[in-house]
Amino acid sequence: MTATTSAPPSRPQVLARTAREKTPMTKKRREALAAYAFLAPDVLGLLIFVAVPMVLAFGVAFFKVDGFGNYQYVGLANYKLMGSDDQLWASLKITGIYVVAFVPIAFVVSFALAMLVRNHFKGIGWVRSAFFLPNVVSLVVVGLIWQFLLVDKRGAISNLLAPLGLGDVSFLGTPSLALGTYVVISVWFLMGYQMLVFLAGLKDVPKELEDAAEIDGASAWQRFRYVIWPLLRPTSFFIVVNSTIGAVTGLQAFDLVYVLTKGGPARATSTVVLYIYEQAFTFNNMGYAAALTTVVVGILVLCTGLMFAFTRGGRFDED
């Protein structure tokens, strides 16, 4: 609130100064002052609510924090604890499997959808909206919807699968199936968004280039492989990075599992971010949760770095 008012009050003095002397030097200063005033609210906000927490995580990681907010310095104890924390390793493995399954499946599905709705046909508007619609409702609603559809024996999915003899399968109640179910639901939720990003990328593929290839006798596959695919590289790179980060630390890794399975059954869908949340707010181990946070940040920085290295930097940030 105080930040909002910081811009206008600086004006009178600034105007007064220019009235006195209007040399290039003061105009420069005037412009800089105005710029800082314009930036102040957002920069302060981002510092307090993003940058400070980031740094704080690395500090709190060396403390034991009890329920009353008392801090006790414990050195590396939180990090040493991780070695023997089986649930942590289990949740890291679950997040790993989730990433390895979700990222490629979502990529292929949304790319296929983008190719399908790329060229105009009757009703294309509704089709595009339909694919995007699941992304509009909240993850809580998505979780509730699928819980209802997947209710054991009586749910719509069981009814659909009954003729195939699969009516008794408990998709959310069987540890070996729950993670896969979570992947499928995530793809359903995010495919429309990724499809839109692909469509935006496809717009930059000149139609003439494809037509020329077709005239030269290139098959559909060849046109895809040698014209579309290379030109779509920056978009593909963005999708892979973005969806990997989302799979590890996005809201889909928390909201959806929290509502759908609470990490169960038998912790089969306990993602890392859900585990950190539990440590912090169920067991009140803030210090340990902060230490875990730093590990996730480390993993994320490492993954992004590796992806940039392997792809020699998917150049999507020119301009």
Partner 1 sequence: MRTRFFPILAHVLAIIAVAPLLWILISALKPAEDVFSFGWPSTWTLDNLQYVLLKIPLPTFLMNSAIVSVVVTVVALFFHSMAAYALARLRFPGRGIIFSGIMSTLLVSLPVILVPLFLVAKQLGLLDSYAGLIVPSIFHAFGIFLLRQYYLNIPRELEEAADLDGCGYWRRYWSVILPLSRPVLASLSVLFFLANWNAFLWPLTITRNPDLRVIQLGISGMQGQYASAWNLILAAAVIAAIPTVVVFVAGQKRLVDAMKTTGLK
Restricting to residues 209-248, name those near partner 1 by CB under 8 A. 234-235, 238, 242, 245-246
CA distance 256 to 120: 34
Contacting partner 1 (CB under 8 A), which of 77, 82, 188, 213?
188
Contacting partner 1 (CB under 8 A), which of 130, 266, 302, 306?
130
Place of tokens 């104890």: 77
Q: Which stretch binds partner 1 (CB under 8 A): 75-83, 93-101, 166-174, 285-293?
A: 285-293
- What is the end-to-end Cα distance of the chain in Å, rounded? 34
Per-residue x/- marks for partner 1, 146-175, CB under 8 A?
Answer: xxxx-x--xxx--x----------------
- Facing residues of 64 across strands? 72
CA distance 221 to 164: 35
**257 sits near partner 1 (criterion: CB under 8 A):** no
Task: Return left, alpha or beta for 120; rule: phi > 0 is left, psi -120 to 50 is alpha, else beta.
Answer: beta
Contacting partner 1 (CB under 8 A), which of 77, 82, 105, 145?
145
- Facing residues of 72 across strands? 64
**39 sits near partner 1 (criterion: CB under 8 A):** yes
- Binders in 41-100 for partner 1, by CB under 8 A: 41-43, 45-46, 48-54, 56-57, 60, 69
Q: Which is nearer to partner 1, 129 or 176 (CB)?
A: 129
Q: How far are the Cα atoms of 59, 124, 198, 233 from residue 228, in angstroms, in the given order?
A: 48, 21, 11, 9
Distance in Å, CB of 149 to partner 1, minimum: 6
Distance in Å, CB of 154 to partner 1, minimum: 4
Contacting partner 1 (CB under 8 A), which of 24, 67, 83, 123?
123
How many Cβ atoms from other residues are within 10 Å of residue 117's Cβ?
19
Q: Which is nearer to partner 1, 148 or 176 (CB)?
A: 148
Query: Do residues 184 and 217 make contact, with C-beta atoms less than 8 angstroms apart?
Result: no
Q: Which is nearer to partner 1, 76 or 304 (CB)?
A: 304
- The torsion angle over the Cα atoms of residues 15, 21, 25 and 28, rounded to 10 degrees, is 20
